């Protein structure tokens, strides 16, 4: 489905009954809602599950290639308004987590609960910003397929690269189909994001944190730091997984997610 939000076409998928607990999935960089297929199926049996393609990625409009996390927050709120969802559970992985954390900071009244996966509250340091700048220049020069080749070993655990060919193929094909302009635009958006660490202590909704035990991009130490700051939060390390914890160990990920959602739905 598509909706025009803040002047651009935003694509989303929706499953499950409308009257049930809304759960909004926000993907990482530079992926699409397709990374949530297994969760959409599992969660859609019990909740109203929605997964959107962030502006510029997946099937959403690329536009001018200039993005900010603030703009993505505006889009998320615009989509909730369009779907007439007053309050939702948000599930964000990595960049989806950056967007979720900033939305929780800006619009806490729109949330019932949060699930933060393989993400962090800290902004990029100088080394991180320079890496983004190099990545943006490189993807425009060498294209998305080359970017995908170099990105895969950073997001999947070495074991998953061998044992999860379907998941690796999915992510590779999503990245390769993404316009270099949109990849570069998101690297710049992430380099310019704000630090949400100071507001973690103010998160007042139930929060589940999950991170692949072998995640090297947003390692468990960062998840533990968020867990210590977010009152009453739960933390699980996803066995055997790297950065793509929902794809690398969907059995573990889905069971913890469903258990958490049951607690929210049950009130």
Give the binding site for ligand MLT (CB under 6 A): 28-29, 94-95, 190, 217, 243
Question: What is the closest distance, in whole angstroms, from the C-beta atom of residue 108 to ligand MLT in the complex?
Answer: 23
Nearer to ligand MLT, 110 or 120 (CB): 120
Question: What is the closest distance, in whole angstroms, from the C-beta atom of residue 97 to ligand MLT in the complex?
Answer: 8
Question: What is the closest distance, in whole angstroms, from the C-beta atom of residue 123 to ligand MLT in the complex?
Answer: 10
CA 150 to chain centre: 20
Nearer to ligand MLT, 65 or 85 (CB): 65
36: its two tokens? 């949530």
Nearer to ligand MLT, 102 or 243 (CB): 243
Question: What is the closest distance, in whole angstroms, from the C-beta atom of residue 187 to ligand MLT in the complex?
Answer: 8
Supply the DSSP string of the chain, one letter for each residue.
Answer: -EEEETTEEEEEEEES-TTS-EEEEE--TT--GGGGHHHHHHHHTTSEEEEE--TTSTTS--TTS---HHHHHHHHHHHHHHTT-SSEEEEEETHHHHHHHHHHHH-GGGEEEEEEES--SSPP-HHHHHHHHHHHHHHHHH-HHHHHHHHHHHHS-HHHHHH-HHHHHHHHHHHHTS-HHHHHHHHHHHHTPPP-GGGGGG--S-EEEEEETT-SSS-HHHHHHHHHHSTT-EEEEETT--S-HHHHSHHHHHHHHHHHHHHHHT-
Nearer to ligand MLT, 23 or 95 (CB): 95
Question: What is the closest distance, in whole angstroms, from the C-beta atom of residue 151 to ligand MLT in the complex?
Answer: 8
Nearer to ligand MLT, 41 or 122 (CB): 122
Nearer to ligand MLT, 133 or 217 (CB): 217
- State the Cα–Cα distance between residues 241 and 93, nearest whole angstrom: 13
Question: What is the closest distance, in whole angstroms, from the C-beta atom of residue 156 to ligand MLT in the complex?
Answer: 11
């Amino acid at each position: 489905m598509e909706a025009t939000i803040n002047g651009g076409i935003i694509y989303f998928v929706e499953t499950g009954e409308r009257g049930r607990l809304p759960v909004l999935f926000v993907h990482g960089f530079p992926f699409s809602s397709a990374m949530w297929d297994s969760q959409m199926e599992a969660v859609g049996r019990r909740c109203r599950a929605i997964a959107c393609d962030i502006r510029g990625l997946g099937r959403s409009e690329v536009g001018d290639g200039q993005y900010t996390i603030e703009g993505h927050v505006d889009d998320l709120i615009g989509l909730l308004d369009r779907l007439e969802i007053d309050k939702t559970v948000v599930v964000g992985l990595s960049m989806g987590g950056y967007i979720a954390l900033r939305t929780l900071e800006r619009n806490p009244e729109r949330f019932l609960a949060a699930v933060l996966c393989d993400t962090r509250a800290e902004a990029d340091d100088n080394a991180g910003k320079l890496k983004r700048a190099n990545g943006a220049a490189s993807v425009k020069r060498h294209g998305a397929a080359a970017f995908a080749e170099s990105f895969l070993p950073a997001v999947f655990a070495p074991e998953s690269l061998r044992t999860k060919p379907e998941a690796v193929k999915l992510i590779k094909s999503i990245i390769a189909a993404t316009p270099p302009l949109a990849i570069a635009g998101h690297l710049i958006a992430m380099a310019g994001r704000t630090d949400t660490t100071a507001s973690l202590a103010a998160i007042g909704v139930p929060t589940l944190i999950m991170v692949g035990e072998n995640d090297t991009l947003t390692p468990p130490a960062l998840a533990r730091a968020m867990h210590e700051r977010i009152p009453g939060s739960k933390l699980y390390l996803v066995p055997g997984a790297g950065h793509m914890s929902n794809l690398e160990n969907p059995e573990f990920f889905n069971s913890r997610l469903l258990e958490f959602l049951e607690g929210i739905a049950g009130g």
